[in-house]
């Protein structure tokens, strides 16, 4: 795929054989039947540039404790997901730590889908 933002995330997850799908202006990252992340850097919602983390609201507090730069999406009305904004000082470091959580099978990240 062309013009994938933050491609280093996909490269870091390569051992999981991720599937990347472009939908609704984001590049979604799936592993089997779970949607983990969406990579966004588009014109429509510049306030939401970064890595969107698929999760449930019940996990937001834990994730924010470990990643203080996380915040809700501002331009997109998705309340369950949380954003690692590209302009935070620890963006790449946090992104790699989130990838480690995914590789270790941490259930706080990822949204099961019915069909991949």
Residue 77 is predicted with a pLDDT of 86
For the whole model, what pTM was predicted?
0.94
What does 13-45 look like in DSSP terms, one character per residue? TGGG--EEEEETTEEEEEETTEEEEEEE--SS-
Residue 71 has pLDDT above 80, yes or no: yes
Q: Which of 4, 26, 6, 5 is nearest to 92 (CA)?
A: 6
Residue 31 has pLDDT above 50, yes or no: yes
Residue 3 is predicted with a pLDDT of 85
Residue 39 has pLDDT above 60, yes or no: yes
């Amino acid at each position: 795929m062309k013009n994938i933002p933050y491609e280093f995330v996909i490269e870091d997850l390569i051992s999981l054989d991720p599937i990347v799908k472009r939908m609704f202006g984001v590049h979604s990252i799936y592993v089997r039947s779970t949607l983990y992340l969406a990579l966004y850097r588009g014109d429509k919602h510049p306030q939401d540039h970064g890595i969107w983390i698929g999760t449930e609201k019940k996990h937001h507090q834990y994730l924010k404790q470990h990643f203080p730069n996380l915040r809700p999406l501002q331009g997109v009305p998705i309340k369950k997901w949380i954003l690692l904004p590209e302009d935070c000082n620890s963006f790449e470091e946090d992104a790699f730590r989130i990838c480690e959580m995914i590789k270790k099978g941490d259930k706080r990240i990822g949204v099961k889908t019915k069909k991949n």
